[in-house]
Structure 1
Amino acid sequence: MSTKLISSTQNPIIRQLTQLKDKSRERRKTGLFLIEGAREISLAQKGNYEIEIILFHPELFSKEKLNDLSTEHVNIIEISKEVYQKLAYRDTTEGILAVAKSKNHNITDLKFNTKNPLVLVAEAPEKPGNIGAILRTADAANIDAVIIANPKTDFYNPNIIRSSVGCVFTNQIATGSISEIIGFLKENNINIYCAALQASVNYHTQDFNKSTAIVVGTEATGLSNEWLESSTQNIIIPMQGEIDSMNVSVAAGILIFEAKRQRGFL
């Protein structure tokens, strides 16, 4: 395995990769993004992401460990501690990063392998940590897709990759406008269950065995009227405390796993 060495943080390649780490605009323009950590890189490979470059700092990640990753047709670059610290997002990590090509997540390209898909739709989530938690939950439940309506950030934000522990690569993900997604769901005869306070029934009273989309909004504003007008049924999680909402990723988890329970997976 032949490798090149980059020791300067001013190297043009490193300066470009720093832009990929820090700027969504650069990720969109180039179609590339950074992955940090061996597990995350491995999950990206399993998710059929194309890896272009692997960078490693030998004091933290030995050249021998690269054999555990698929490195055929991948450029391997050894980097100094200074370069690694420049590119790394985490405070403590393994000493390995990769440059990968992003995927197209258009709603029109979404395909299902099951007759009665279970999908989660999240409207305009802003916090990368919440998106990451939603993706972890979706992976744990092995649902058919996660759809983000009107996304506020790109999926390859380092915070999302980190908080999802690589589940951004294991889920089938799509995006679109609210009207595009509603049109897609209706075209595919998928029932729409909106988590909302208005005209709602307890979530566990509904039958989620048929094709189902569970739709959640932000904690601050909830769901747009367009969703509520298109809902098969609004659903609510009964709460006994003083507030009437919970973290969106927690609510999504409760609703998804109720659907999985009904489908006989729990």
Structure 2
Amino acid sequence: MEITSLQNPRVKQWAQLLEKKTRDKEHKYIIEGIHLVQEALISGASVECIVYSLEQGMPAEIEKLTASHLDVEWIGVTSAIIAKCSSTETPQPVFAVVHKQSSDMGALMERENALVVVVDGVQDPGNLGTIIRSADAVLADAVILGKGTVDLYNPKTIRATMGSMFHLPILEGNLNELLPAAKQGGARIVSTSLQAEHTCYAYDFRPSTWLLVGNEGKGVSAEAEAYVDDRIIIPMPGRAESLNVAMATSVLLYEALRQRRFT
């Protein structure tokens, strides 16, 4: 199929997905570039259609996946259409429309010794993307996004995940309901604090652990803080004042990985 008119209804629909309200209403979003489209296809994401530049042709890396994804619509368009539907100044020659994933919160609650990252109000897309990549890297069971956290489907967040968003469950939920439910199921809610007595290296991450991380400036909200069981500190013998939230989360996740797999 080919589309060449900027006024085509499909093109208008795609362009509107750059806005959060349309993404929320349609339960769809756009991913841009060869790497992300590849990852979505290989990971079995629910891809509705792949849109590529007629001038540049279908990228070879994606073309070789067509045979195993016959349910996906492939649409050739002009570079003007790609530019209209892109969030970047220099658009890549391919994008895809993907249905939002749905994950089972109940199954996560029942998982033994789960390692979960709970994100409470992180605002920077780059930070959220890095947290998701680190969670993917250490085989965490899920990432949960609380209210006030930057939209997962914001184009900048999507780019920052580098495809990791397709590799593990990422759920959105009300932390005032989820954190007490997790505690009831035996999970420990853990957060960092400068007043903590224990370092992250003295803490046992092997049982079910929900790691609560907060906003870049204000930290964890007072409501979420009320559910914290254990507070730990990342030692910083150097002169740096602090680590950013993505870096701190990565340090804690890798300590959890070390204890769970390399002791």
TM-score (norm. length: structure 1): 0.88
Deviation at 1:44, TM superposition (A): 2.2
The match for 2:74 among 73, 76, 82 is 76
C-alpha separation in 1, matches of 2:176 and 2:12: 39
Find the counterpart in structure 1 of residue 215 from structure 2. 218
- Cα distance change, pair 264–103 in 1 and its aligned pair in 2 (3 A): closer
C-alpha separation in 2, matches of 1:110 and 1:190: 14
Deviation at 1:215, TM superposition (A): 1.4
Deviation at 1:218, TM superposition (A): 1.6
C-alpha root-mean-square deviation of aligned residues, in Å? 2.3
Find the counterpart in structure 1 of residue 63 from structure 2. 66
Deviation at 1:31, TM superposition (A): 1.1
C-alpha separation in 2, matches of 1:146 and 1:157: 16
Residue 16, structure 1, aligned to residue 10, structure 2: no
TM-score (norm. length: structure 2): 0.89
C-alpha separation in 1, matches of 2:115 and 2:35: 27
Residue 176, structure 1, aligned to residue 173, structure 2: yes
Find the counterpart in structure 1 of residue 27 from structure 2. 31
C-alpha separation in 1, matches of 2:196 and 2:225: 9
Residue 103, structure 1, aligned to residue 101, structure 2: yes
C-alpha separation in 2, matches of 1:154 and 1:193: 24
For 1:43-89, what per-residue CA distance to the aligned partner results, in whole angstroms no more than 9, with x for missing partners?
A: 22344322111111133343764232443122221001111122233
Judge conservation of contact 2:119–2:145 (CA < 8 Å) in 1.
yes
Gaps of 5+ in 2: none
**Worse overlay, 65-74 or 4-13:** 65-74
C-alpha separation in 2, matches of 1:197 and 1:43: 39
Find the counterpart in structure 1 of residue 253 from structure 2. 256
Q: Which amino acid aligns with 1:32?
A: K
Deviation at 1:200, TM superposition (A): 4.1
C-alpha separation in 1, matches of 2:209 and 2:59: 46
Q: Which amino acid aligns with 2:33?
A: G
Please give the secondary structure, in 2, of the residue aligned with 1:111.
Answer: helix
Judge conservation of contact 1:195–1:217 (CA < 8 Å) in 2.
no
- Cα distance change, pair 92–216 in 1 and its aligned pair in 2 (3 A): same
C-alpha separation in 2, matches of 1:50 and 1:43: 12
Judge conservation of contact 1:37–1:96 (CA < 8 Å) in 2.
yes
C-alpha separation in 2, matches of 1:183 and 1:243: 35
**Worse overlay, 248-257 or 33-42:** 33-42
Find the counterpart in structure 2 of residue 186 from structure 1. 183
Judge conservation of contact 1:196–1:223 (CA < 8 Å) in 2.
no
* Count of aligned pairs between the two proteins: 261
The match for 1:48 among 44, 47, 64 is 44
Residue 198, structure 1, aligned to residue 195, structure 2: yes
- Cα distance change, pair 243–105 in 1 and its aligned pair in 2 (3 A): farther
C-alpha separation in 1, matches of 2:43 and 2:148: 21
For 1:150-201, what per-residue CA distance to the aligned partner results, in whole angstroms no more than 9, with x for missing partners?
A: 1433321111111111111112112222211212311321111111223442
C-alpha separation in 1, matches of 2:55 and 2:129: 30
Please give the secondary structure, in 2, of the residue aligned with 1:263.
Answer: helix
For 1:106-146, what per-residue CA distance to the aligned partner results, in whole angstroms no more than 9, with x for missing partners?
A: 7x445278521111111111111111111111111111111
Find the counterpart in structure 2 of residue 145 from structure 1. 142
Deviation at 1:251, TM superposition (A): 0.3
C-alpha separation in 2, matches of 1:57 and 1:260: 42
**Worse overlay, 86-95 or 146-155:** 86-95
- Cα distance change, pair 178–113 in 1 and its aligned pair in 2 (3 A): closer
